[in-house]
Amino acid sequence: MKKQVQFTMWGMLAVLIVIFSSASAAAQDAAKVDSDHYKVEFENDEVRILRIHYDPGEKSVMHEHPDGVVVFLTEDGKTKFTLPDGTTQETTSSAGVAVWSPAGKHLPENSGDKPVEAILIELKCKTKMTASKVD
C-alpha cells in the first residue's frame, strides 16, 4: 500500500510537470498571450501566418517566434524590441519590405506615432529539398 501511494504521488508530480511545461511553452506563443496584436490568418503543418497590428504606444508581452519572414504593410513604422536580457533594439520599417526574422524571444512596442502592421510567416519545420533526376 505504501508503494502504491508513492507511485501515485510520483505520477501526479509527473503530470503536473507536463502540464506546467506545456503551459509555459504555450504562454510564449504570441497568438495565445497577445491576441489583441496577433491574429492567425493561416496555418498548416509547414507554416503559420500571423497578422500583426500595433497602434502607436502599444506594447506586447514577452513571447517568442520560430524562424520566419516578416513583410511590413505600413510605412515608417518604428518598433522597440526588449530582449530577455533587458537590452533593447530599435527598428524602422517600410511598407513592402520583407526581412528574415530568426527565432527568439522579445517584447515589442510601437515606439512611433503611426500604426505598425505586418505579416509574419513562421516556419514550423525545416524541409529538406531533394533533387530528382530529370531525363
CATH number of the structural domain spanning residue 101: 2.60.120.10
Q: Show the 3-state SS of the chain.
A: CHHHHHHHHHHHHHHHHHHHHHHHHHHCEHHHHCCCCEEEEEECCCEEEEEEEECCCCECCCEEECCEEEEECCCCEEEEEECCCCCEEEEEECCCCEEEECCEEEEEEECCCCCEEEEEEEECCCCCCCCCCCC
Q: What is the pTM of this model?
A: 0.74
Position 129 in a domain: no
* pLDDT over 90 (residue 130): no
Average pLDDT of the chain to the nearest whole number:
83
Position 87 in a domain: yes
Position 84 in a domain: yes
- How large is the average pLDDT for residues 109-117? 98
Position 12 in a domain: no
- How large is the average pLDDT for residues 60-80? 97
- How large is the average pLDDT for residues 117-128? 87
Domain extent, residue 33, equals: 27-123
pLDDT at position 60: 97
Position 19 in a domain: no
Position 130 in a domain: no
Number of domains in the chain: 1
